[in-house]
């Protein structure tokens, strides 16, 4: 099966987060000096070099101030070092590109350089201070002939990729938002703690505080997320204590539905939840899924809970009715008109976020609520966190 390349990449981001600030201070100083020399040589006047070099140092100070304030304000709790260095290198590259224009148009190039740097800082501020807290509610309507009464329906709320580090405004507001949606059933599709805090006692206590506030008449069900993120020996006691049913290669029948009229026999077939623990071996996971589906009645509606969307080709071939996943975070950083830049799916952008149909199967990939850990920036760009509401109803309801 091998190591998860995405997790290996995340591990590489952890070490810079341990560096003390004075170790990285020479980087912006050196890059500012190089930029200043290039601009002075390009324009032919030392003053231009001083202006650009000092400007880069001022923006570096603004970047560090923003990133260092995040944990102090209780907004996010990642290390500032790696995001700061990434911003510093990006600013240097922009300054070098602008220097090429300064050969012919020094003043327009300098003004454009300043505006682009302001834009970069604005995006960094928006991505860390604003968008992670703009939780969007997505409504998904799933009609089905497998409900014998056309007036029946079941409201399901999906929460994915909580990635709790500490309770922030996002987590504190989430239970009220979910309660307002009046779910009949709540499903949790994995990755409950941040990779940087998955064995942290305070993070575990905060996760418990959050989870104990979720309630639904038909229950709360969950599946485990990425094996490196969800440490089962630490999470199982919390879920057991709270009565959250974790489907580890399991099936659960949810017979309760809202009805506007009595069915002919007083019962609907109900919903069959199928849950699998996440694995990197998709062939083995597909075999386990086939075995679980074989035990379901043919007229039953199957809802697969699996952390990643990567089982979709197999799930569609097996006739799964609805499949709920997360894992990709929608890319977390998206470009307008292109979408996700990176995803942790083996299929990259094929199932990056949102609604997909294959055969008679429907897949919804949630953008999730939290963000990646380790040394990565705790930021969302054009990819707000998401709560999904699925209304499973009889056709004609």
| Distances 29 to 22, 64, 186 between C-alpha atoms, Å | 11, 13, 51
| Per-residue pLDDT tens digits for 348-375 | 999 999 999 999 999 999 999 999 988 8
Rounded percentage of the chain residues whose pLDDT exceeds 70: 89
DSSP 264: S
DSSP 124: H
Phi-psi region of 331 (alpha: psi -120 to 50; beta: other; left: phi over 0): left
Strand ranges of the sheet holding 301-305, from the earlier edge strand across to the other edge: 250-254, 271-275, 301-305, 322-325, 361-365, 354-358
Query: Is the pLDDT score of 259 beyond 60?
Result: no
Q: What pLDDT is stored for residue 395 in this prediction?
A: 73
Instruction: Give phi and psi for 74, each to the nearest 5.
Output: 70, 25
Q: pTM here? A: 0.92
Domains of the chain: residue spans and CATH: 5-131 (no CATH), 137-394 (3.60.21.10)
| Per-residue pLDDT tens digits for 311-332 | 999 999 999 999 999 999 999 9
Q: What pLDDT is stored for residue 393 in this prediction?
A: 86
| Distances 180 to 51, 145, 183, 232, 389 between C-alpha atoms, Å | 54, 28, 8, 30, 11
Average pLDDT over every residue of 64-70: 96
**CB within 8 A of 133, min separation 6: which ones?**
168, 169, 170, 385
Note whether 324 and 364 are within 8 A (CB). Answer: yes
Q: What pLDDT is stored for residue 18 in this prediction?
A: 61
Instruction: Give phi and psi for 268, each to the nearest 5.
Output: -105, 165
| Per-residue pLDDT tens digits for 233-246 | 999 999 999 999 99
Instruction: Give phi and psi for 6, each to the nearest 5.
Output: -65, -40
SS3 135: coil
Note whether 55 and 114 are within 8 A (CB). Answer: yes
């Amino acid at each position: 099966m091998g190591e998860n390349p995405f997790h290996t990449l995340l591990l590489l981001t952890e070490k810079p987060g341990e560096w003390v600030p004075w170790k990285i201070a020479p980087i912006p100083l050196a890059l500012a000096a190089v930029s200043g020399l290039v601009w002075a040589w390009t324009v032919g006047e030392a003053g231009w070099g001083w202006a650009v070099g000092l400007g880069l140092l001022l923006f570096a100070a603004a970047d560090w101030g923003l990133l260092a304030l995040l944990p102090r304000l209780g907004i996010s709790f990642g290390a500032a070092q790696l995001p700061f260095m990434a911003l510093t290198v990006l600013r240097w590259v922009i300054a070098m590109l602008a220097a090429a224009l300064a050969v012919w148009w020094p003043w327009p190039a300098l003004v454009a350089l300043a505006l682009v740097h302001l834009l970069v800082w604005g995006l960094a501020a928006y991505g860390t201070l604003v968008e992670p807290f703009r939780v969007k509610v997505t409504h998904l309507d799933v009609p089905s002939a497998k409900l014998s009464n056309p007036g029946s329906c079941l409201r399901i709320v999906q929460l994915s990729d909580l990635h709790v580090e500490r309770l922030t405004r996002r987590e504190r507001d989430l239970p009220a938002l979910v309660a307002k949606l009046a779910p009949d059933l709540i499903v949790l599709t994995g990755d409950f703690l941040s990779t940087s805090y998955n064995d942290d006692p305070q993070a575990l206590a905060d996760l418990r505080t959050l989870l104990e506030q979720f309630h639904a008449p038909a229950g709360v069900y969950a599946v485990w997320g990425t094996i490196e993120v969800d440490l089962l020996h630490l999470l199982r006691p919390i879920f057991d204590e709270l009565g959250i049913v974790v489907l580890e290669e399991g099936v659960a029948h949810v017979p309760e539905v809202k009805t506007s009229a009595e069915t002919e026999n007083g019962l609907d077939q109900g919903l069959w939840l199928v849950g699998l623990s996440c694995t990197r071996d998709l062939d083995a996971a597909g075999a386990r899924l086939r075995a679980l589906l074989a035990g379901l009645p043919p007229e039953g509606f199957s809802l697969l809970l699996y952390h990643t969307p990567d089982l979709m080709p197999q799930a569609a071939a097996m006739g799964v009715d609805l499949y709920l996943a997360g894992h990709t975070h929608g890319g977390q950083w998206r470009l307008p008109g292109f979408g996700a830049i990176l995803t942790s799916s083996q299929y990259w952008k094929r199932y990056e976020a949102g609604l997909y149909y294959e055969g008679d199967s429907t897949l919804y990939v949630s953008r999730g609520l939290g963000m990646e850990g380790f040394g990565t920036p705790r930021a969302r760009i054009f990819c707000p966190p998401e709560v999904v509401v699925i209304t499973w109803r009889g056709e004609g309801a």
